[in-house]
Amino acid sequence: MFLHLGGDIVVRLKDVIAILDLETTTISKISKEFLKVAEEEGFIVNISDDLPKSFIITEIEKKSKIYLSPISSATLYKRAGYMDSIANI
């Protein structure tokens, strides 16, 4: 199954490692450093011009990618859970 992250970006659920809230996780010094290094190394993809609300860590074909999404982490979790439950029918 697939998860729509916003804009024209869709990823396979099995490629998603984590869906994290940008506001609460960037309070941590370690999270800020992680995102800074990821941006410097070109792993970050900004999905929209809107202010990002969440970031999604994925591994696609053994390459890490981090998507900045304008969609909240709660909404993405719900979408992922809904898609996962459909797959089990």
Tell me the residue length of the chain.
89
**Confidence category of residue 65, pLDDT binned at 50, 70, 90:** very high
Confidence bin at 68 (pLDDT 50/70/90) = very high
DSSP 51: P
**What pLDDT score does 26 carry?**
85
State the average pLDDT over residues 8-27: 93
CA distance 36 to 41: 9
Q: Give the pTM.
A: 0.87
Residue 33: helix, strand or coil by DSSP? helix
- CA 25, CA 49: separation in Å to the nearest integer? 21
* 49-76 mean pLDDT: 94
Give the pLDDT confidence score for residue 85 in this predicted structure.
61
Taking the C-alpha atoms of residue 54 and residue 87, their distance in angstroms, rounded to an integer, is 24
